[in-house]
Amino acid sequence: MAFPSSSSPQGKYDVFLSFRGADTRNNFTSHLYAALCQKKINAFIDDEELERGEQISPSLLNAIEQSKISLIIFSKGYASSRWCLEELEKILECKNNNGQIVMPVFHNIDPSDVRSQNGTFGDAFAEHEEQFKGRQDMVQRWRIVLRDAANLSGFDSNVIRGPELF
């Protein structure tokens, strides 16, 4: 895939990486980030771009808005993070309002579990519904954005593309 030039006025970042840190930060995501940087693609990853003392929420929301592409790395624990779900809401808002390119990556998770909120995604939503009893509208929005994001064309780590090398 060709990435837009960093000098484009559309955004400060070429790529925003949305991921559950506990699941993928020190393996898949760190390798992906390194590969993007090696190719001179300006990628935002939360642990290296935030200035000390800055509030996380506004900084991440701003980075999403200033990105041309968002890669959503769905993993088993993604839906258990309220912040991941709020990021996802913002990402799809930027897709719908600003034409941001959004690509899901299903990392060791079945895309249908994300789409239908089954498995660990179902467990996470059972907890969210209990925790946010007075805010079911928020939980429902999260369900919708997960389904919408899972319906986008993306990459599934469980499907091998191209010839297998042994």
For residue range 98-128, list pLDDT tens digits in order.
999 999 999 999 999 999 999 999 999 999 9
Task: Check residue 144 and give its pLDDT.
Answer: 96
Q: Check which CATH number belongs to the domain holding 90 and give it.
A: 3.40.50.10140
Task: Check residue 156 and give its pLDDT.
Answer: 85
Task: Check residue 157 and give its pLDDT.
Answer: 81
Q: Count structural domains, the chain.
A: 1
Rounded-to-integer distance, Cα 30 and Cα 129, Å = 32
- Percent of the chain past pLDDT 90, that is, above it, reads 63
Q: Pseudo-torsion of CA 108, 164, 39, 13, nearest 10°?
A: -30
Residue 70 has pLDDT above 60, yes or no: yes
Q: Is residue 87 part of a domain?
A: yes
Could you tell me the pLDDT band of residue 91, with boundaries at 50, 70 and 90? very high
Catalytic residues: 87
